[in-house]
Amino acid sequence: MSFKHVKPALIVFAAPSGAGKTTIVRHLLKTMPDRIAFSVSATTRKPRPHEVDGKDYYFLNEKLFKQRIQDEQFVEYEEVYPGRFYGTLKREVRRIKDSGRSVVFDIDVKGALNIKAQYPDDAIIIFVLPPSEEVLFDRLRSRGTETEEQLRPRFDRARWEIAQASKFDIILLNDQLDEALLNAEQLITDITTHGHTVHRRY
């Protein structure tokens, strides 16, 4: 089914680690490819076993990342942890908008707020809210990739990020995943068809 796109938007999903935003974004890209396309972020972290350079992230070393900062190639970037940078390349945004589709971002909370500050009329920022801090922390523990001591900075960061939710345009609750996915689809339909959202909460 075809439809007339409104002006392509910058649709930014952000959340604390473990809230499920990446799962939601991947579902939307699979089910709504005529409306949206993914902005691949750049990062200095090492790729995980299943990740592909240029598809999941652009994996850069720290020297090259800093050079691109100096060359003003980023829409936004942040040093999330010491020596670990993430950023959105301007060329990615141009590539997708030129295709007539809206640009979908899967980034951290500070990055989302930075994009909103730079593009107040074009960006719609969506906070994926976990049902509670306790549920979020249990999800992070269940990964089994870090010790409790290693997780502590993630917990502290997550508390700060959840406190920023009120600054976002939309809050998408991820309590039951199936329901969150359906609500996310409706949200994308609203934005790409009408150029605005009907509800603040989904």
pTM exceeding the 0.85 threshold for the entire prediction: no
What is the spatial distance between Cα 110 and Cα 41, in angstroms, rounded to a whole number? Answer: 14
199 lies in some domain: no
pLDDT in tens, 99-156: 889 999 999 899 899 999 988 988 999 999 988 888 777 777 877 677 777 778 778 8
- Residue-wise burial string across 30-68, b where 16 or more C-beta atoms lie within 10 A, e elsewhere: eebeebbbbbbbbbbeeeeeeeeeeebbbbbeeeebeeb
pLDDT tens for 59-89 read 999 999 999 999 999 988 989 888 999 999 9
The CA distance from 15 to 161, in Å, is 7
**H or E element: which one contains 85?**
strand 84-89
Q: Count the domains in the chain.
A: 1
The domain in which residue 104 lies consists of 10-194
2 pLDDT tier (thresholds 50, 70, 90): very low
> 73 and 132 in contact (C-beta within 8 Å)?
no
- Please write the tens of the pLDDT for every residue from 33-65: 999 999 999 999 999 899 999 999 999 999 999
- Would you say residue 71 lies in a domain? yes
Q: Considering the domain boundaries, does residue 54 fall inside one?
A: yes
What pLDDT is recorded for position 61? Answer: 96
Mean pLDDT of the 83-100 span: 90
Confidence at residue 18, expressed as pLDDT on a 0 to 100 scale: 81
Q: What is the pLDDT of residue 152?
A: 81
Q: Do the domain assignments include residue 201?
A: no
Is residue 14 assigned to a domain?
A: yes
Distance between CA atoms of residues 146 and 140, nearest Å: 9
The string of DSSP codes covering 161-201 is HHHTGGGSSEEEE-SSHHHHHHHHHHHHHHHHHHSS-S-SB
Q: Pull the structure tokens for residue 124.
A: 């719609």
Residue 3 lies in a domain: no
**Does position 3 have pLDDT exceeding 60, yes or no?**
no
Residue 126 belongs to some domain of the structure: yes
User: How many CB atoms are located within 10 Å of the residue 112 CB?
Assistant: 27
Question: How far lies 21's CA from each of 1, 105, 129, in Å?
Answer: 27, 10, 9
CATH of the domain at 151: 3.40.50.300
177 lies in a domain?
yes
Looking at the DSSP assignment, which residues form a beta bridge with residue 106?
Answer: 13
Residue 121 exposed, middle or buried by CB count within 10 Å (0-12, 13-18, 19+): exposed
Partners of 172 in the beta sheet? 128
Better-predicted residue by pLDDT, 2 or 136: 136
